Amino acid sequence: GAVVSQHPSWVICKSGTSVKIECRSLDFQATTMFWYRQFPKQSLMLMATSNEGSKATYEQGVEKDKFLINHASLTLSTLTVTSAHPEDSSFYICSARAGSRSGNTIYFGEGSWLTVV
Amino acid sequence: GDSVTQMEGPVTLSEEAFLTINCTYTATGYPSLFWYVQYPGEGLQLLLKATKADDKGSNKGFEATYRKETTSFHLEKGSVQVSDSAVYFCALRPNRNSGNTPLVFGKGTRLSVIA
The pLDDT of A93-99, averaged and rounded, is 85
**Chain A to chain B Cβ contacts (< 8 Å):** 45
Given the DSSP bridges, would you call strands B109-114 and B11-14 parallel, antiparallel or unpaired?
parallel
Q: Is B3 on the interface with A (CB under 8 A)?
A: no
Give B22-74 pLDDT, tens digit per residue: 999 999 888 999 999 988 877 788 899 999 999 999 999 999 999 999 999 99
Q: Is A108 on the interface with B (CB under 8 A)?
A: yes
Partner-chain contact B44 A108, CB within 8 Å: yes
Given the DSSP bridges, would you call strands A67-73 and A57-58 parallel, antiparallel or unpaired?
unpaired
Does residue A95 register a pLDDT over 80? yes
A19-25 β-sheet, strand order: A4-7, A19-25, A76-81, A67-73
Instruction: Tell me the pLDDT band of A42, cut-offs 50, 70 and 90.
Output: confident
pLDDT at A30: 87
Q: In this complex, which of A42, A106, A110 lies closest to B43 when CB atoms are compared? A: A110
Residues in A touching B103 (Cβ below 8 Å): 34, 46, 95, 106
pLDDT at B1: 84
Give A6-16 pLDDT, tens digit per residue: 999 899 999 99
Please enumerate, as own/partner, the contacts of B59-62 that have beta carbons within 8 Å and a separation of 24 or more: B62/B35
Q: In this complex, which of B36, B45, B100 lies closest to A32 when CB atoms are compared? A: B100
pLDDT at A51: 84
